[in-house]
Amino acid sequence: MSTQPHPLIKDEVLELNVRLLANLTLIVLPLHVLTAVGLFAVYGTSIRSGRLVLASMVATLLVYLISRTRHGEIAINLFIIELFVLAMAVIYINADAFSAITAVLPIYTASMFRSMKRLIITSALTLVSVFALSRLIPGDWKEIFGILMLLGITTVVIVIRTNLLTRVEIQVRRRNQQLAESEARFRATIDAGVGVFFLLKAVRDAAGEVEDFIIVDSNARALAQTHLTYEEMIGKRMSLLVPDSHQRDLFVQCRGVLERRKSLLSETLMN
Question: Do residues 29 and 45 make contact, with C-beta atoms less than 8 angstroms apart?
Answer: no
| Of residues 210 and 267, more confidently modeled | 210
Residues 90-117 pLDDT 10s: 555 544 444 444 544 554 455 555 566 6
pLDDT exceeds cutoff 60 at 200? yes
pLDDT exceeds cutoff 50 at 226? yes
Residues 40-92 pLDDT 10s: 666 665 556 566 666 777 777 777 777 777 766 667 667 766 666 666 555 55
Counting residues of the chain whose pLDDT is more than 70, the rounded percentage is 30
- Domain boundary assignment for the chain: 12-174, 193-270
Q: What is the model's pLDDT at position 271?
A: 41
How many CB atoms within 10 Å of residue 147? 21
Residues 144-184 pLDDT 10s: 556 566 666 666 666 666 666 677 777 878 888 888 888 78
Counting residues of the chain whose pLDDT is more than 90, the rounded percentage is 0
- CA–CA separation, 67 and 118 (whole Å): 16
Q: What is the model's pLDDT at position 97?
A: 43
- CA–CA separation, 25 and 186 (whole Å): 49
Q: What is the model's pLDDT at position 202?
A: 76
- List CB contacts of 115: < 8 A, sequence separation 6 or more: 162
Coil, strand or helix at 195: coil
- CA–CA separation, 5 and 268 (whole Å): 50
Residues 15-38 pLDDT 10s: 666 666 666 677 667 766 776 676
User: Tell me, what DSSP letter sits at residue 237?
Assistant: B
- CA–CA separation, 259 and 253 (whole Å): 10
- CA–CA separation, 201 and 81 (whole Å): 54
Q: Residue 137, Cα to own-chain centre: how many angstroms?
A: 39
Which has the closest alpha carbon to 64: 75, 53, 80, 77?
75
